[in-house]
Amino acid sequence: MSKSGPARPGKGKPSTNPYGKAPRKTAKYVTSRPVKSVRDARKRVVEDALADAGKPERLQKLLATAGFGSRREIEKWIESGRIAVNGEVAVLGVQASAADVIEIDGKRMRADKLLGGTQRVLAYHKPTGEICTRNDPEGRKTVFDNLPKVGRGRWVALGRLDINTMGLLLFTTDGELANRYMHPSWSIERRYAVRVLGDVTEEMLKQLRDGVELEDGPAKFDSIDEAGGTGANSWYHVSLREGRNREVRRLWEAVGLTVSRLTRIQHGPVALSPRLPRGKFAELEDELLSQVYSAVGLEPPVKKQDGGHKEKTGRRGRY
């Protein structure tokens, strides 16, 4: 990216922001008390955060809201003894607030970090060859490698795609949103473009609509629409409201056909934009963000007064 830009007033060096003057960054907790050092300033931020700690709530909800993971993921951490509250190993059902001393894997969480920040949602165009785990012992590339860093919490994927599947993945820093979006009770629609190898008959399509028996129970497509193709390769757009492992591929295999290409083209109200290149991300605009939250019965996050995050995409655009 070019470093050129308009000159800052009173300075000989050009601005590093080619889009004009950068917005002033403000802390979430501001104090008028004088500070003597950066360390003192950080201490004041924590003190102000503690004053706003609020009532205790279930530990998994507190950490999920702060963006550490989904509720289900954090419940597993609690069950495995990875989290301590005030020096005691946490158990399911324990309540806590930002005023408590909370440690994850022996590392103490700052009070202001526990209170969380502005919640964000990204759309990412996953290419084939990337896996959806955070760390891979085999050293393969993961979807998290291309995401921007966050100051508080971390990115949580709203579902997964296998290594050979490309297309739309959603990520959020809001653990409560992640918990609801992935929970089967909300029945969030997933739509895919599928290239099938083999001769597809009407009887096969009827079976897939009515339901077939898989090793982990019955499954079916909610809709199947023809989308072109010639010869032995046929394209279809299919939708379903579950997120079982390799479910789309296994459904076609159950009627004797092979999926040669699979792309997720929509997840809930978010469709894969043709302007979003593979391996790039874009942050959702306010209207689409509201639709995502409304789909699972949540109020959309309130935008920060300082304009929020300016690093929105991996391609200088919005979604």
Q: Catalytic site residues? A: 162
CB 156 within 8 A of CB 175: yes
In whole angstroms, what is the distance from residue 238 CA to residue 91 CA?
A: 42
Residue 1 DSSP SS3: coil
Which positions ≥6 away from 279 have C-beta within 8 Å? 125, 126, 127, 146, 314
Residue 225 DSSP SS3: strand
Q: Which two tokens stand for residue 200?
A: 């597809």
Task: Give the position of tokens 């029945």.
Answer: 187
Residue 211: CB atoms within 10 Å = 14
CB 87 within 8 A of CB 70: no
In whole angstroms, what is the distance from residue 69 CA to residue 317 CA?
A: 27
In whole angstroms, what is the distance from residue 143 CA to residue 161 CA?
A: 10
> E strands along the chain, which residues?
57-58, 83-85, 88-89, 95-96, 102-104, 107-108, 121-126, 156-157, 166-172, 190-197, 212-214, 217-219, 223-226, 233-240, 258-267, 270-271, 281-283
Q: Which two tokens stand for residue 105?
A: 């894997």
**CA angle, 198 as apex, 196 and 203 as ends, to 5°?**
90
Q: Identify any residues that bridge with 225 across adjacent strands, giving them in sequence order.
A: 237
